[in-house]
Amino acid sequence: MSKTAFLFPGQGSQSVGMGAEFYQEYDFVREIFDMAEETVKMHISDLCFKGPMEDLTQTVNLQPAVTTVNLACLAVLEKEGIAYDFCAGHSLGEYSALNAAKVVSAEDTIKLVYNRGKLMHRESLKNKGAMHAVVGLPIADVAALVAEVQSQGIVSVANHNSELQIVITGSPEYVEQVSALARQKGAKAIPLKVSGAWHSQLIKGAEEEFNTILSQRKFHPPEKILVLNVTGDMATEADEIKAGMQRQLCSPVKWYDAMGIFAQQKVDTFVEVGPGKVLAGLLKKILPSDYPVKIYNVSNMKQLEIFLKKIA
- Enumerate the active-site residues: 91, 199
> Which amino acid does the sequence have at 50?
K
> Which amino acid does the sequence have at 266?
K
Of 172, 90, 89, 186, nearest in space to 134 by CA: 186
Instruction: Please tell me the distance from the alpha carbon of residue 280 to that of residue 270, in angstroms, as a whole number.
Output: 8
Instruction: Please tell me the distance from the alpha carbon of residue 18 to that of residue 131, in angstroms, as a whole number.
Output: 25
Tell me the DSSP string of 29-93: HHHHHHHHHHHHTS-HHHHHHH--HHHHTSHHHHHHHHHHHHHHHHHHHHHTT---SEEEE-TTH
Instruction: Please tell me the distance from the alpha carbon of residue 130 to that of residue 135, in angstroms, as a whole number.
Output: 16
Helical H segments across the chain, by residue range: 20-25, 27-40, 44-50, 53-56, 59-79, 93-100, 106-126, 139-150, 172-184, 207-215, 238-248, 255-264, 278-286, 301-311
Angle between helices 139-150 and 172-184 (to 10 degrees): 130
Between the CA atoms of 127, 232, 276 and 22, what dihedral angle is there, to the nearest 10 degrees?
-110
Asked if residues 116 and 104 have their Cβ atoms less than 8 Å apart, the reply is no
Question: What is residue 138's three-state secondary structure?
Answer: coil
The CA angle 104-207-275, to the nearest 5 degrees, is 50
